[in-house]
Structure 1
Amino acid sequence: MEISACVKYVGVNDHQVDLFEGQYKVPNGMSYNSYVILDDKIAVMDTVDGFFTEEWLNNVEQVLGGKMPDYLVIQHMEPDHSASIPAFLKKYPKTTVVSTAKGFQFMEQFFPEFFAEQGLPAEQRIVAANDGVLELGQHSLHFVYAPMVHWPEVMMTYEATEKILFAADGFGKFGALDVEEEWADEARRYYIGIVGKYGPQVQAVLKKAAGLDIQTICSLHGPVLKENLGFYLEKYDKWSSYQPEESGVVIAYASVYGNTRNAAEYLADVLQEKGQKTVLYDLARCDKAKAVADAFRYDRLVLAGITYNGDLFPCMRSFIEGLTERNYQNRKVAIIENGTWAPMAGKLILGMFEKSKNLTFTETTVSIKSAMNAQNKGEIGKLAEELC
């Protein structure tokens, strides 16, 4: 893939992976992106997952056309982007590596055998300074530190001549590049799941980016973004400031024998009759990452939970933890609880949100004992009014 006459794509597609980072379902695979900038000095931007080292090196070799790379710029040391560093340096041993100080620290931690055997002498290391510049000829690389987006060593790189932002994991998405799909849903699921905890740090980077004339965004995952960049920047601004994108109600339930599910479905029907966008999730069976992402997408959330062994049912507890560890806030939340002899789910759910900011809980909490009755239906109707 050609980004421009001088900037080439040399990444790979992964259709072997079923769970990204061991937990996120990726039915359309993943892309591990890497780029080459051809100029008086040649820079390779990041590497790829170790399972695809040979394919990536072949891509790089083809683009180089017999030339030697001068720099290997490492923006992020997570193994899906850094695992091929040793193989690259064995093939191109005179290359100078550019990274942050912590990036070099992590490099030595990940590749102790390589550094013990071959090493990387000081003259082949450039510690990129925040706002530092590396001149390639007609192109110049401006380094922007992005700590905790979403690892502490991360930096992004702005190429000033062609106005390209090499955004590390920023603006990435699930899915290989040889599969066509909409950007937003898989980018949201990727961002909320992986980066969502670090909203303030993303906001800091967005403020820096606002001062740059960006015409192309090259992420380490997902497509190269060239058109309608305002759309992507707006999404990242909303996601990282924890603001809802849309008006709608997510109903997430945990049910053993179907009684709590019946209540959740009844509420969904009432809300839909009132013209409310409603999304229903069975937490025992759904893709939890998608449920978490939609809880951030919409402005209202209903948790329908059961008391189980004096606690919350495990999938409900796990779902709420998925929200709170990502700083869930700025939403309205409602609770439906169920318990045959000692309902505690409502109290436990409230306790899990004790440290959460800017959540508004409905006045109505529906408490079911075993199965929904006529009184409960009336309470659910009242709850639906509050949610509207």
Structure 2
Amino acid sequence: MSEIRYVGVFDRYISLFERQYPVEHGITYNSYVIFGERPVVVDSVDAAFALQWLTNVEKALEGRRPAALVCQHLEPDHSGSLRALLDRYPGMSLIVSSRAASMLPNFLDAEAYAGRLITVGEGDTYDLAGGSGLTFMMTPMVHWPEVMMTYLASEKTLFSADGFGSFGVPEFPQPCWADEAARYYFNIVGKFGPAVQTVLKKASGLDIERILPLHGPQLSGDALAEALRLYDLWSRYEPDREEDVLIAVASIYGNTYEAALELASELGQRARIVDLTKTDVSFAVAEAFRCRDIVLAAASYDGGVFPPMAAFLSRLAAKGWRNRRVAIVENGSWSPCAARAIESTLSTLKGIDIVGTATVTTRLDGESRRAVMALAGAF
């Protein structure tokens, strides 16, 4: 048996994760010490927290010296403090995937630590002594090419790198795990659904009672079962809110928004409105992936579509959004063109079924109101 102690850090004051995703409730950079006869540290943290992390590790070790540091993912928020721990414990090895070994010089002076590098591949193990060991599982493109996960059989625990991550730190009031996990997944990992499916197939052959991701809470029991269910749906680009209809609206003066409200009233509790002029696009992207049916409502602008909608569509395309039913509401005062611009982007995506289009010419009138209301029947 091996004891696992948490030595990660909480970033309570960060406003934008990766300089783009709002994180009102902060973010964790998770790291662990596994105790056997040969203690092992799993993952480091962002360089900004190197001193705090070193203190946490030293406190957990209680005077012992780690035999190795496992680096599952080289992204700077997880590799930023590698050098600090390597320098603190000169006898400690660094365990990385073969792809990570080739990338390592991009992140630190790899030659200085070359004699301490242990490169592992699929199914390789590291003996902790005392009858326990780590098994490494290569998980490329979840969400970088060098990523691996680590399984500790004696504790039925999978260290899942960025997989199953979420935003938030535990000391703040937390929204539903699925909501922030979805926003994390679809904006950071979601493009790589097939790679996630490969991970799930590999994991299904392991006896797992606990998952420890690099961001967010550990998952066990019912929370673990739900996370696995959602990841299976999400990585197959299937919605987990099949009855909901997302109305994503980009209105300049409020007339398009009025049309969206009328449609929402017709749809009732199924409707979920997101105002793209006020809501960060990361929230809208998550909603678009989670709902089966989507209404895109936008004003015409500069011969195309109002920029907040254009930005939303661009992000959806970049993340591989697909397999959805879409209705369009366009607005224009003299030559409406938003629908044409929206359709142009949608035509590049897989499995998009445009079920109807309604045109508003500045304000709703009897004819345009009927056209907008008719879209509810398409879903």
In 2: Cα distance, 1:383 partner to 1:87 partner:
58
Matched, 1:338 2:331: yes
- The 3-state SS of whatever aligns with 2:333 is coil
Judge conservation of contact 1:130–1:145 (CA < 8 Å) in 2. yes
* Structure 2: unaligned runs, 5 residues or longer: none
Stretch of structure 1 that moved more, 166-175 or 137-146: 137-146
**Corresponding residue number in structure 2 for 1:270:** 266
In 2: Cα distance, 1:59 partner to 1:131 partner:
30
**Corresponding residue number in structure 1 for 2:344:** 351
**Corresponding residue number in structure 1 for 2:105:** 108
Q: State the 1:15 CA deviation.
A: 1.0
**Corresponding residue number in structure 2 for 1:163:** 156
Matched, 1:128 2:120: yes
**Corresponding residue number in structure 2 for 1:8:** 5
Stretch of structure 1 that moved more, 351-360 or 232-241: 351-360
Could you report, residue by residue, the CA deviation over 1:57-113 in whole angstroms, capped at 9, with x for unpaired residues?
A: 11100111111110000000011111001111111111110001221233211224x
| Equivalences for residues 188-207 of structure 1 within 5 A | 188-207=182-201
In 1: Cα distance, 2:28 partner to 2:38 partner:
27
Q: State the 1:16 CA deviation.
A: 2.1
**Corresponding residue number in structure 2 for 1:279:** 272
**Match for residue 179 of structure 2 among 185, 190, 193:** 185
Moved over 4 A (4+): none
Alignment identity in percent?
43
CA-based RMSD: 1.3
Matched letter for residue 125 of structure 2:
V
Judge conservation of contact 2:73–2:147 (CA < 8 Å) in 1. yes
**Corresponding residue number in structure 2 for 1:242:** 237
Q: State the 1:326 CA deviation.
A: 1.5
Q: State the 1:367 CA deviation.
A: 1.0
- The 3-state SS of whatever aligns with 1:86 is helix
**Corresponding residue number in structure 2 for 1:225:** 219
Q: State the 1:180 CA deviation.
A: 4.1
**Match for residue 373 of structure 1 among 358, 365, 368:** 365
Judge conservation of contact 1:33–1:220 (CA < 8 Å) in 2. yes
**Match for residue 250 of structure 2 among 248, 254, 263:** 254
In 2: Cα distance, 1:264 partner to 1:270 partner:
10
Matched, 1:384 2:376: yes
In 1: Cα distance, 2:132 partner to 2:27 partner:
29
Judge conservation of contact 1:13–1:178 (CA < 8 Å) in 2. no
Q: State the 1:179 CA deviation.
A: 2.3
In 2: Cα distance, 1:332 partner to 1:251 partner:
12
Matched, 1:46 2:46: no
Matched, 1:209 2:195: no
Judge conservation of contact 2:2–2:154 (CA < 8 Å) in 1. no
Could you report, residue by residue, the CA deviation over 1:204-255 in whole angstroms, capped at 9, with x for unpaired residues?
A: 1111001111011011011111212211100100111100101111101111
| Equivalences for residues 31-110 of structure 1 within 5 A | 31-110=28-107
Between the two proteins, the alignment pairs up a number of residues equal to 375
Judge conservation of contact 2:2–2:155 (CA < 8 Å) in 1. no
In 2: Cα distance, 1:174 partner to 1:354 partner:
32
Q: State the 1:178 CA deviation.
A: 2.1
Judge conservation of contact 2:336–2:361 (CA < 8 Å) in 1. yes
**Corresponding residue number in structure 2 for 1:26:** 23
Structure 2 length normalisation: TM-score?
A: 0.96
**Match for residue 314 of structure 2 among 300, 313, 321:** 321
